[in-house]
Amino acid sequence: MTSSLDRQKSSSNLSTLNGEDGSHVQPDLEKQATKHTTEEPTPAAPKFLETDLSRGIVGWDSQDDPQNPQNFAASKKWALLALISAFTFISPLASSMFSPAVVYMGAEFHETNETILAFSVSIFLIGYTIGPLLLAPLSEIYGRRVVLSGANWFFVVWQIGCALSKNIQTLIVCRLFAGMGGSACITLGAGVVADLFPTELRGRATSIWSMGPLIGPVAGPIAGGFLGEEVSWQWVFWVLLIASGAMQLGIEVLNKETYAPVLIRWKTAKLSKELDRTDLQSAYDIDREPLSNAQVLKRSLIRPALLLCKSPIVLLLSTYMALVYGLLYLFFTTISDVFTRTYGFTVGLSGLAYLGIGLGFFVGLMIIALTNDRIVKKLTAQNGGKFEPEMRLPTMIMFACILPISFFWYGWTADKHVFWIVPIIGMFPFGVGMMGVFMPIQTYIIDCYPAYAASANAALTATRSLVGAFLPLAGSPMFESLGLGWGNSLLGFLALAFVPIPIIFTKFGKQIRERWPVDLEDKRK
């Protein structure tokens, strides 16, 4: 009896809940936890401090518990983020790496339909639409690590199917499944950022994690063009298999679980067994309606759709991101053709034309990484020390204005056959603007829904991937009808029409968010 009581005293498992910024905040338990009981009628009866564990609640041992991912050493946090970011580069690389080599695949399979050939490339993004809606909720039930690991290996295996395909139908199916697996790192990265980093570091962390989804599609055509030209189109997938397999082996060895509710659930199960107690409950499940695994899964799966349908902020920002992402892939439909036909580049060299956008991505990344968190700290101080997620958005206004420049610059210089370096430089503003739009939106969504950051990011990813998959299919007919100059100008005017969105949300975002709140929690008892 004494041994059991001592164990209860030493395990002061203080319950921890998510604060407004997603960090794990220690509640004030002094008012409710310090109780002295005295047995009657003996006045000298022993006294003890009632702890959370004695009441059947399991949480972190303290605010400084080293098992809490928010308290991991800085080196460990950045190393975990780097692992996920590395695979987040490889997966989007696969989305566009095949693009320059598709002509060689078409010749081998005797496929001349341009729409089918384009669809064999963009089908990967349909996998990006389906995958996040399944994987994000699963990660909030079973944890980030197991879901990320399973999905990454799923992506790796389907590269073999792509490389060994004997017809275009098989290739399309294999690319669809590869896209579903490859979406995990893009989807769950937002959750890992919320798990590990406090508000004041999320801008920098999101900048690092966002490099892959934005730079990967640009680097892909450069490598894919030379591989298709010098070796064969199948080697695009063999290279992806080798790179992704090696990277996932490293992730398998070094990755750790970071989702706090799952870690506390594991701790609860362990203590229940060690202490032989059946009354222990996770601090994250207090006062919640007991649900079966099937009910939990059902409610988790509808969260991304719930956000899109009930939150005007998520819907409009998802739409804006989808438009910009679709414009990126419309760029991709013309670049290779323009530089091979108009400027006489080989297929391999035409991939180098993507460097204009790539350099813009890098510059935009540096600007956001160096300024976003500083601006948030300054605005928080001016707001009496109270942080608001909308403080992420003011920088978007400038970048949204920069983004449309490229369509007029690139479109008309390519249309008039100006020296080849000029249209390449013309793509630079788009890269800067796109990075400056994407990263504040992603960080803003993480700050708004830290406990369900993966599901919130799934809504963003699914929407933009759907548009990125189908919009480029209309690219060739549009440019054939309007020409490069007016076709790109139309896209530029469309991008200009969306410039007021960041202005509206910077000014009225808080009122909109508070007027239409979305309850993502499970029902209470």
Pick the CATH number of 77-259+298-515 from 1.50.10.10, 1.20.1250.20, 3.30.465.10, 2.60.40.10: 1.20.1250.20
- pLDDT exceeds 90 at position 298: no
Q: Which of 258, 311, 229, 290 is nearest to 70 (CA)?
A: 258
What's the whole-number mean pLDDT along residues 443-471?
82
Residue identified by tokens 């390519």 is 414
Residue 404: pLDDT band by 50, 70, 90 thresholds?
A: very high
What's the whole-number mean pLDDT along residues 362-379?
86
At 168 the pLDDT is 92
What's the whole-number mean pLDDT along residues 203-220?
79
What's the whole-number mean pLDDT along residues 363-367?
88
Looking at per-residue pLDDT, the higher value among 450 and 291 belongs to 450
Q: Output the 3-class SS for 125-171.
A: HHHHHHHHHHHHHHHHHHCHHHHHHHHHHHHHHHHHHHHCCCCHHHH
At 52 the pLDDT is 66
Within a 10 A sphere around the Cβ of 157, how many other Cβ atoms?
A: 16
- pLDDT exceeds 90 at position 215: no
Paired tokens of 149: 């690991």
At 326 the pLDDT is 85
- Lowest model confidence (mean pLDDT) among 317-326, 342-351, 433-442: 342-351
What percentage of residues in the chain have a pLDDT greater than 90? 16
Q: Read off the amino acid at residue 339.
A: F
- pLDDT exceeds 50 at position 32: no
At 161 the pLDDT is 93
Secondary element (H or E) of residue 359: helix 355-382
Residue 46: pLDDT band by 50, 70, 90 thresholds?
A: very low
Give the model confidence (pLDDT) of 157-188 as tens digits.
999 999 999 999 999 999 999 999 998 888 88
Instruction: DSSP for 262-303, please give it.
Output: HHHHHHHHHHHHHHT-S--EEGGGTTBPP--HHHHHHHHHTH
At 140 the pLDDT is 77
- pLDDT exceeds 60 at position 111: yes
Residue 521: pLDDT band by 50, 70, 90 thresholds?
A: low
Paired tokens of 334: 């013309």
Any idea where the domains of the chain sit in the sequence?
2-57, 77-259+298-515
Cβ burial 183-205 (10 Å sphere, 16+ → b, else e) = bbbbbbbbbbbbbbbebeebbbb
CB-based contact 428:406 (threshold 8 Å): yes
Q: At 524, is the secondary structure helix, strand, or coil?
A: strand
What's the whole-number mean pLDDT along residues 30-38?
39
Give the model confidence (pLDDT) of 113-134 as tens digits.
878 888 888 889 899 888 888 8
Give the model confidence (pLDDT) of 329-352 as tens digits.
787 777 878 888 888 888 778 878
- pLDDT exceeds 50 at position 28: no
Per-chain mean pLDDT for the chain: 80
Q: At 419, is the secondary structure helix, strand, or coil?
A: coil
Whole-number Å distance between alpha carbons of 423 and 1: 80
What's the whole-number mean pLDDT along residues 77-84?
87
Nearest 5 degrees, angle CA 251-CA 183-CA 478? 140
At 484 the pLDDT is 87
Whole-number Å distance between alpha carbons of 489 and 475: 13
At 290 the pLDDT is 62
CB-based contact 207:361 (threshold 8 Å): no
What's the whole-number mean pLDDT along residues 38-51?
45
- pLDDT exceeds 60 at position 38: no
At 160 the pLDDT is 95
What's the whole-number mean pLDDT along residues 268-290?
78
Looking at per-residue pLDDT, the higher value among 44 and 352 belongs to 352
CB-based contact 410:509 (threshold 8 Å): no
At 478 the pLDDT is 84
At 154 the pLDDT is 96
- Lowest model confidence (mean pLDDT) among 42-51, 104-113, 198-207, 235-244: 42-51
At 520 the pLDDT is 64
- Lowest model confidence (mean pLDDT) among 4-8, 136-140, 266-270, 419-423: 4-8
What percentage of residues in the chain have a pLDDT greater than 70? 87
Give the model confidence (pLDDT) of 491-520 as tens digits.
899 889 888 888 888 888 888 888 887 766
Instruction: DSSP for 11-68, please give it.
Output: ---B--EE-TTSSEEPP--HHHH------SS-TT-------TGGGTEE-BSSTT-TTS
Cβ burial 481-516 (10 Å sphere, 16+ → b, else e) = eeebbebbbebbeebbebbebbeebbeebeeebeee
Residue 58: pLDDT band by 50, 70, 90 thresholds?
A: confident
- pLDDT exceeds 70 at position 11: no
